[in-house]
Structure 1
Amino acid sequence: MRGHLSLLEENQGETPWCGPAALALATGRGYAEACAMLRTVAPAWYPADGPIVTAYWRDLLAGLDLAGIAHGPVALPAKRQSLIRFARGDLAAGWYLLRITDHFLLLRSYGFGLATLYDNRHTGVLVGRATHGLRHVTHAVRLTDALG
């Protein structure tokens, strides 16, 4: 699976924004193609060119649909949970697209409370306090197509 360094290279050495980066990683597409997908699903919300700084959850889900990536909702508890608590909870093994507070990322759960994250700055790092672990999970879907 590609990671943040590939996205950095694709974005001419500039750190990519988290929404398009998460969509690129989830779909296996390039960063520019992920930006184009967001523009396709919501042309009124995104500039015709230049960086997409702020993406919307609904548009990431529409991008997954456009790419043919099946996904299903994940029930979240009424009381917000930190990413660490979410990852260490009763989470089935697999891939998840998450919004945590003000950030998008992919989470790979191995079960048994072990999970790694992938985003615009990390590739396969363990979820912990220093890797967004204290931010709250606000949205989650399970990707039902294998990413590898």
Structure 2
Amino acid sequence: MTTSFLEEQKDASHSPKTPSPRQGDGIGPTHIPKDEYMYIADSYHLIRRAIFIMAVCSSMFTNQLGLCNSLTTLEIIGESFGVTDPGKLSWAISGYGLTLGTFVLIGGRLGDEFGNKAIFIIGMGWLSLTSMMAGASVYSSYPVYILARVLQGLVPP
């Protein structure tokens, strides 16, 4: 039985391709070359990987802490500025949350363009500066504190 060259090419192009074996699936070698790692952190040593995971998790915790840190102390913050109106006090919480929700996708895009590590460091630096501004606003006025809270949410870590 003879087949033409075109029929052989057609059969070869429609044959199912099996994926290359991955580490731990019991098929093939258990060592994966460095260029086949799925994530960059997979190539790190165990201690460096643990530090990396702790840094990322603590930045997520810091992000959530920014939403809740003024919630429990809202009345104390209001008393220090002489503000008792709940409508004005709510801006201490919602200013951060609204800005954070607005700019989180832009921050992700910047991370894709300029590198996640660089944007992470810039974000932590920005959060530090605006946190100092919020702390120093006790000597100024309540609108300066709200501005600092809004700027804190601008570049989340």
TM-score (structure 1 length as normaliser): 0.21
- More strand by percentage: 1
Larger Rg belongs to: 2
Q: Which has the higher contact order (CA 8 A, sep 6+)?
A: 1
TM-score (structure 2 length as normaliser): 0.20
